[in-house]
Amino acid sequence: MAQAISSGIQLVQRPSPRRSAIVTLKLKVQLYCGDEIAMGPGKAAMLEAIAETGSISAAARTLGMSYRRAWLLVDTMNRCFAAPLVETTAGAGARVTEAGRAALTDYRALAERVEAAAAGAAFERLQAAIRTQPVLNSSPGRGGGSRASG
């Protein structure tokens, strides 16, 4: 089972020194199992909510999602990891397993490292170079706001 790491960026909001608007860097770490997201920010939040509430339905309410959506997140995690991350018992709720706690700890550590790596001079340079709003009708290489005809 191959795993890939994807980063989309959710991290820092700082006002640009040259502009009044904010350029935002967003970063999220997602671990894939085939085409499925085995772990990402939403699944990590689900594990935390289950650990807090002891129930998938209560965790779903806490996170503002349907029970079905929450169950699908748990099912995907349990199918993607070598050991189940959440165990359920009819009438007794749900619990995050030792494997689930370890996966959550490792995921949070990885996400913190990615966040720390993304902060710094490279982001500052990119932030200064990015417009606060895209130019409308711009042609590539022209750098302006009007479109040349022809």
Quote the pTM value.
Answer: 0.72
The answer to whether the beta carbons of residues 17 and 11 sit under 8 Å apart is no
Does the pLDDT of residue 50 top 90, yes or no? Answer: yes
Does the pLDDT of residue 103 top 80, yes or no? Answer: yes
Residue 94 structure tokens: 């749900």
Read off the pLDDT of residues 119-131 as tens digits, 9 standing for 90 and up. Answer: 888 888 888 888 8
Give Cα separations from 145 to 21, 132, 140 (angstroms): 19, 14, 11
- pLDDT confidence of residue 26: 80
Report for 14-18, 69-73, 87-91: range of highest mean pLDDT: 69-73
- pLDDT confidence of residue 12: 44
Task: Spell out the domains of the chain, with CATH numbers in brackets.
Answer: 3-129 (1.10.10.10)
- Mean pLDDT, to the nearest integer, of 135-149? 62
